[in-house]
Amino acid sequence: MVDGLIAKSLNEALEALDNKEYQIVAGGTDMLIQNRSHSGMNIDYKKDVLYINLIDELDFIKVDEKNLYIGANTRLETILESKLVPQILRDVVIEMASPGIRHTATLAGNIGNASPAGDSLVVLYLLDCELEIKSLTKTRKVLLKDFITGVRKIALNKNELITKLIIPKINLTDCYFHKVGPRLSDAISKLSFACGYSVENSIIKDLRVAFGAVYVTVVRSREVEGKFIGQSVNDLKANLDDIINAYEPLIKPIDDQRSNRVYRKNVAINLLREFIENIKED
């Protein structure tokens, strides 16, 4: 028989984690599915459970001159309604699950779940999201790309909690997110794609591309992006095959119940091609 603790403050949660190993549960929308019992009646948690979704101090959206800060407990529906949140992140959230799930689910939960098909991850990688992680005695920051280490693998110690997402403010000429799923809502992605650029005097000043569900973690390569930053828009388009060839070996999807590797790879490359073809000169 497992125990449950409903933490009412961050300190209470961190003290609990310092004393004992818990399964952290925020909105519970992934945890309830992963721990469902065969009877469908009781949730079959394997470890004691620490519910954190009533910790109000982790429920906020704030900005300063450099960053946007989203508390770990902020519900997807709150993020969707906030004008402080960049449009591309709201565009992802509106495509995640359904209103009922968005009423309780969190971005920290999407990150903690570390699924290659986690929709928000693609855009959070694109935006260089950082996480604040706390234990009772220590606060640290880590880039999301370094935090997710594999399928359902995260670099979180047993005594730690994600407390906030830190998203740098950036100025892109254009950016967008594209989810490829079996239907428009309540669908898990077959693959996803996020991209953005900025152009000054017809020169590419920033170029970002991220692919979801085509590898064990989100694919974003600063190295590849760097090769094309500094080119003119015309050169980039004229040498479209160069950028496609640079990404091609990084896109290594699998066959599963939602799609197959050939479809995923072709669509990912087509989305990249479409993005580059539609970059506008300023």
Ligand X SMILES: Cc1cc2nc3c(=O)[nH]c(=O)nc-3n(C[C@H](O)[C@H](O)[C@H](O)COP(=O)(O)OP(=O)(O)OC[C@H]3O[C@@H](n4cnc5c(N)ncnc54)[C@H](O)[C@@H]3O)c2cc1C
Closest CA to 131 of 120, 147, 117, 113: 147
Q: In what order do the strands lie in the sheet with 191-200?
A: 174-180, 191-200, 203-212
Q: Is 110 in the site for ligand X (CB under 6 A)?
A: yes
Binders of ligand X among residues 220 to 279 (CB under 6 A) are: none
Crossing angle of the two packed helices 261-277 and 240-247, in degrees rounded to 10: 150
* Options 1-9, 23-31, 239-247, 268-276: segment touching ligand X (CB under 6 A): 23-31
Q: Where are the beta strands (DSSP E) in 83-190?
A: 130-134, 139-143, 148-150, 153-154, 161-168, 174-180
Among 71, 118, 196, 253, binds ligand X (CB under 6 A): 118
Q: Write the CB contacts of 34 (distance below 8 Å, at least 6 apart in sequence).
A: none
* Options 60-68, 106-114, 196-204, 254-262: segment touching ligand X (CB under 6 A): 106-114
Among 14, 16, 17, 27, binds ligand X (CB under 6 A): 27
Beta-carbon neighbour count of residue 83 at 10 Å?
A: 7
- Residue 227 CB, shortest distance to ligand X, in Å, is 30
Binders of ligand X among residues 165 to 194 (CB under 6 A) are: 186, 188
Q: Is 106 in the site for ligand X (CB under 6 A)?
A: yes
Q: Which residues bind ligand X (CB under 6 A)?
A: 24-31, 33, 52, 72, 96-97, 101, 105-106, 108-110, 112-113, 118-119, 156, 161-162, 186, 188
